[in-house]
């Protein structure tokens, strides 16, 4: 069975409904391989958030129960473009294995220039990047920043645009859920439908799964 990986999941440390322990348990039951807890973050809570995740992950590692790979991360959210680079640096130095940034979705008032600033700062993935420009997609391809196809309502309205430009310029795509509640968790069937619904082909399903596996490996290897 292929891997099931999700790098964009929220807990009650921001606006999610679940404790890290319940999110983990539900992901195990759903057949996940790995996940990243990436709550909304900025200068005010990056270090505290990652410390909370660290305590939970240490407890998991001490337990005898079955568990999956859990990565500590952040989703930099509504951070001014001029501050994104410093927030990425703080996140990395504070122990984030995955750094995402809340992109310029069409359903929220994200500051113009956020997509470009996040890509230039070297985030791991750009969440729901909305009507991202061709220049920004080209830059994401050059810098190895993964672009998100999302299952989340509203944000997903521009999946087709993101997929089309990613294919055109060779940017790597991943599928994430932006999970906030139990019913948001990913399944293999939903992942496939999201990829095909974005106008991609069956062969792209395997490519996108491989992209997630590649990012997971990079994250694990970070010291």
Q: Binning pLDDT at 50, 70 and 90, where does residue 123 land?
A: very high
Q: What sign results for the dihedral spanned by CA atoms 18, 21, 26, 28? A: positive
**3-state percent helix, strand, coil for the chain, nearest multiple of 5:** 50, 15, 35
Q: Which fold is adopted by the domain 5-221? A: TIM Barrel (3.20.20)
Dist. CA 86–CA 221, nearest whole Å: 22
Does the pLDDT value for residue 141 go beyond 90? yes
Question: Which whole number is the average pLDDT over 205-221?
Answer: 98
Check residue 67 and give its pLDDT. 80
* Lowest model confidence (mean pLDDT) among 53-62, 77-86, 103-112, 190-199: 53-62
Going by C-beta distance under 8 Å and a sequence separation of 6 or more, which residues neighbour residue 113? 81
Q: Binning pLDDT at 50, 70 and 90, where does residue 223 land?
A: low
Domain ranges of the chain: 5-221
What share of the chain in percent tops pLDDT 90?
95
Q: Binning pLDDT at 50, 70 and 90, where does residue 64 land?
A: confident
Going by C-beta distance under 8 Å and a sequence separation of 6 or more, which residues neighbour residue 154? 105, 107
Three-state secondary structure readout of 72-137: EEEEECCCCHHHHHHHHHHHHHCCCCEEEEECCCCCCCCCCCHHHHHHHHCCCEEECCCCCCHHHH
Dist. CA 217–CA 143, nearest whole Å: 17
Check residue 188 and give its pLDDT. 97
Dist. CA 107–CA 201, nearest whole Å: 27
Check residue 214 and give its pLDDT. 98
Q: Binning pLDDT at 50, 70 and 90, where does residue 65 land?
A: confident
Check residue 39 and give its pLDDT. 98
């Amino acid at each position: 069975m292929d891997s099931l990986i999700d790098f964009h999941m929220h807990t009650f440390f921001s606006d999610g409904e679940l404790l890290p322990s319940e999110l983990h348990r539900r992901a195990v039951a759903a057949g996940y391989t790995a996940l990243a807890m990436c709550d909304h973050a900025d200068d005010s809570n990056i270090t505290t958030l990652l410390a909370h995740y660290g305590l939970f992950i240490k407890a998991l590692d001490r337990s005898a129960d079955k568990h999956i790979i859990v990565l500590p991360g952040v989703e930099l959210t509504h951070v001014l473009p001029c501050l994104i680079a410093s927030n990425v640096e703080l996140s990395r130095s504070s122990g984030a294995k995955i750094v995402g940034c809340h992109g310029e979705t069409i359903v929220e008032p994200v500051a113009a220039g956020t997509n470009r600033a996040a890509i230039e700062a070297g985030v791991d993935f750009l969440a729901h990047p909305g009507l991202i420009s061709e220049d920004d997609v080209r830059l994401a391809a050059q810098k190895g920043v993964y672009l998100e196809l999302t299952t989340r309502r509203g944000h997903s309205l521009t999946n087709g645009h993101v997929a089309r430009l990613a294919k055109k310029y060779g940017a790597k795509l991943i599928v994430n859920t932006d999970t906030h509640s139990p019913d948001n968790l990913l399944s293999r069937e939903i992942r496939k439908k999201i990829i095909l619904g974005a106008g991609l082909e069956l062969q792209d399903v395997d490519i996108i799964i491989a992209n997630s596996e590649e990012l997971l490996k990079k994250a694990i290897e970070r010291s």
